Structure 1
């Protein structure tokens, strides 16, 4: 009998990847906080995880024509521009550094939680394999 890692890890493998992609977007926002015209980006984690879950279960969209855009254009399909909470400062930049820092910290904590969960699953598998 073989071990199915898809069954063992479930959606948590995709969650770690999505958290990493969101961290990159948020870090890019912080790096461009003083760039005129830069628009803050974010990842809709719930939509991205739902898309990953449906793709995992085999219900993904198919590209039926050469004219259709490919699924990957560098950003996750659930990534987009965030509506600013503050009025325009005159330079067109929509990054609020305090909001970005808070979102980055929250995402980092959730990333660590996902890693700890996966570590526990791996430890459980190792215990089962060793027969302890």
Structure 2
């Protein structure tokens, strides 16, 4: 089992992937803020464990032994599944556009803070692994 296969690091990578996809959608919303009839989109984050299991979100089963049934994509790799949904902002203009740039900027700042926190956690986790792998007395 390599360092990249650790469940904690895998969860952090999944979170970073989700945040990257959300940032892309927010940028798309801002780019279409003058498009008539455009409704902004956003990713919904599963916050309830039971709901995430019911919906089959990013949580997947792990194949820990060769006799287990394969899960996910090729070679049993978990597959990230994010679906966007319409998320109109607080105002809709006369031409039907439902994107408020200020609200999108708030979402972008929120995503950036969450991304920074996840990167920090990833770096701290790697630092702990390096410390644990270091020979005694060094």
The two structures have a TM-score, normalised by structure 1, of 0.73
User: Distance in 2 between the 1:128 and 1:15 partners?
Assistant: 25
Which residue matches 1:67?
none
Shift of 1:35: 1.4
Distance in 1, matches of 2:110 and 2:89, equals 19
- Which position in structure 1 is the counterpart of 2:35? 35
Quote the residue 1:103 is aligned against: 107
User: Deviation string for 1:51-108 (max 9, x for gaps)?
Assistant: 112x2546x79xxxxxxxxx99xx822x11103322x312111101111000110110
Identify the match of residue 80 of structure 1 among 50, 66, 85.
85
Structure-to-structure mapping, 1:116-131, within 5 angstroms: 116-131=120-135
> How many residues get paired?
117
Local SS of the residue matching 2:42: strand
Give structure 2 stretches of 5+ with no counterpart.
64-70, 73-78
Segment drifting more, 7-16 vs 111-120: 7-16
1:3-14 superposed matches below 5 A: 3=2, 5-14=5-14
Q: In the TM superposition, what whole-angstrom CA distance separates every residue of 1:24-63 from its partner, at most 9, and x where no partner exists?
A: 101111111111121100000226x94112x2546x79xx
Does 1 or 2 have the higher relative contact order (CA < 8 Å, sep 6+)? 1
Unaligned runs of 5+ in 1: 62-70
